[in-house]
A and B are shown apart, each in its own frame.
Chain A
Amino acid sequence: MSIAEERIERLHGLARKAAAEGEYERSREYVRLARRIAERNRCGLPRSFQRSTCDTCDVYLRPGRNARVRVHRGRVIVRCDCGETKRYPFD
């Protein structure tokens, strides 16, 4: 595992913790930094990271707190408080 992937892993945990403590701006910082590292090192982001962050406002999503989750027509639909909707099929 390269340093970049490890940094993303660590930032994932930090963003989750910051969002749990209500520090949404700080969680955005961590998510943006992780995205930038993935971009620079061309290593991509883990799927769990992609699905638990908002693409528009970069906040770490906590269902029930700042995201609404519903299931419809074979898809999971996650709506962030900023209005962004993320859809992905469930297995």
Chain B
Amino acid sequence: MALTPETLTRHELNGLHVEVVDAPNPDLVGIAGRVVVETMQTLHVDVSDTSDGETRVCQVPKQGSTLQFEIPSRDETPAQRTDEAADVEKASGTASKLRSETAGGLEASQSGRLAEEPSAASRMSSGNCEGVAYVTVDGARLLSRPALRTEKAGDTTWR
């Protein structure tokens, strides 16, 4: 069970690069950095600049915020897989926008593909040679104690 867009909500978040796409507090939107500490309700994002030696950590609540994680993709990452999501949550609005982008990008010799979850959408950006997948997750899906997330946020067959 590698770290894929499907298993992200049950996998380790520490060390992943994250960007806050949407949050109730407008000052938090746009924070980007590495996750260093995870608590039940929040993520601590290390936003310290590498140029100056000073460290700076922002605490972002999971509830209500939309987070975009950057997954280092490997060769067997299911780029071909496309799970169509039921169009319910607000994140799927982002997904359809991304899909139209990638559909336009395919003609422009980009091999962007899409894998969707309910309220979680991802985009492979292998077209611009970054080798990473961007996964957008509703922060409410991560609300759990970090150690219990592996068991509790299970992938039930009834979804």
Contact = CB atoms under 8 A, between A and B. Distances in A.
A6 B2 contact: yes
Nearest to B151: A40
B15 A2 contact: no
A26 B11 CA distance: 19
Interface in B124-154: 146-148, 150-151
A2 B1 contact: yes
Nearest to A9: B12
B37 A26 contact: yes
Nearest to B34: A14
Contact of A37 (B7, B37, B147): B147
A41 interface: yes
B63 interface: no
B36 to A, nearest CB: 7
Interface in A1-25: 1-4, 6-7, 10-11, 13-14
Interface residues of A, number: 18
A33 B146 contact: yes
Contacts, number: 40
Nearest to B7: A3
Q: Is the interface of A mostly helix, strand, loop or mixed?
A: helix
Nearest to A21: B55
Contacts of B14: 10-11, 14, 30, 33
A58 interface: no
A6 B1 contact: yes
Q: Which 6 A-B pairs have the closest CB atoms?
A: A36-B147, A7-B12, A10-B12, A3-B1, A37-B147, A3-B150
8 contacts: A4-B150, A10-B12, A10-B14, A14-B15, A29-B37, A33-B147, A40-B147, A41-B151
Interface of A: 1-4, 6-7, 10-11, 13-14, 26, 29-30, 33, 36-37, 40-41
Given A3-B1, A10-B15, A40-B150, 16 more contacts: A2-B1, A3-B7, A3-B10, A6-B1, A6-B2, A6-B11, A7-B11, A10-B12, A13-B15, A30-B14, A33-B146, A33-B147, A40-B147, A40-B148, A40-B151, A41-B150
Interface of B: 1-3, 7, 10-12, 14-15, 36-37, 146-148, 150-151
